[in-house]
């Protein structure tokens, strides 16, 4: 089934949390969506939640840190839908919350490979596809996180990669201008997902204490991404911060 809007998206990390919420929002708005993630069964669950719109979903088990896997994702998307209007670089992971000097090189590299290299590989593939299609161009939205601005304690790998995503966003935005490719970043704070379940029990603060933190509904994030995605290519949200209203942000770090 073809997209009701004629628009096609790829969402990485689509099997849960923010990726699932954004995928469902796009499908419900009439987009066709390639659902990418490590676990095929979770992607199938996301597609099933879309109901009748699941006919416009394509589930593709993908390791974004692997070039061959990313190439297969974009080739399959092109083969099924014929074009790409949106890439949401959302796939991400963290490392154990240990002392900086105790973080293993293996854990560091895993976070860099998924959070940063994965976003870069997908961006490269999107550029190639968006430059070649007719009409030309498209949009890339990167999930930067509040950690693109300020760190949590014992989060050096995650924080470093999310700061780097901001650099990737800016370079992509600049280099994409000549090809009608827009790029923006959404920085998300405390959305209610499995990853933030610990927030209600208490998480480490900069002063060494533990404190519960408020969370917001994932739908608020999905609505924000849908707004960014729906803009004409002549307009762009360069950076947007969406967070639970009373979470500690300005005072963090």
In a 3-state reduction of DSSP, which class is residue 100?
helix
What would the DSSP string read from start to end of 149-212? Answer: TSPPTT-HHHHHHHHHHHHHHHHHHHHHGGGTEEEEEEEEE-BSSGGGGGGGT-EE-TTS-EE-
Distance of alpha carbon 156 from alpha carbon 140, whole angstroms: 26
To 10 degrees, what angle do helices 17-28 and 218-230 make? 50
- Which residues does the annotation mark as catalytic? 158
CA dist 45 → 14, 50, 173 (Å): 10, 9, 33
């Amino acid at each position: 089934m073809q997209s009701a809007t004629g628009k096609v998206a790829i969402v990485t990390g689509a099997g849960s949390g923010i990726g699932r919420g954004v995928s469902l929002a796009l499908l419900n708005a009439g987009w066709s969506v390639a659902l990418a993630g490590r676990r095929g069964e979770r992607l199938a669950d996301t597609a099933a939640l879309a109901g009748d719109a699941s006919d416009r979903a394509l589930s593709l088990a993908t390791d974004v840190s692997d070039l061959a896997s990313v190439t297969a994702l974009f080739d399959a998307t092109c083969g099924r839908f014929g074009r790409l209007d949106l890439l949401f670089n959302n796939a991400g992971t963290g490392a154990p919350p240990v002392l900086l000097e105790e973080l293993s090189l293996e854990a560091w590299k895993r976070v860099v490979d998924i959070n940063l290299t994965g976003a870069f590989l997908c961006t490269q593939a999107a550029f190639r596809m968006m430059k070649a299609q007719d009409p030309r161009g498209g949009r890339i939205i990167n999930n930067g996180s509040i950690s693109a601005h300020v760190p949590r304690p014992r989060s050096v790998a995650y924080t470093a990669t999310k700061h780097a995503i901001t650099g990737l966003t800016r370079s992509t935005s600049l280099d994409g201008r000549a090809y009608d490719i827009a790029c923006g970043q959404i920085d998300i704070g405390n959305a209610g997902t499995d990853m933030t379940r610990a927030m209600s029990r208490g998480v480490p603060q900069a002063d060494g204490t533990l404190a519960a933190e408020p969370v917001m509904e994932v739908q608020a994030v999905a609505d924000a991404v849908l707004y960014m995605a729906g803009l004409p290519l002549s307009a762009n949200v360069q950076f947007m911060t969406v967070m639970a209203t009373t979470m500690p942000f300005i005072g963090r770090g």
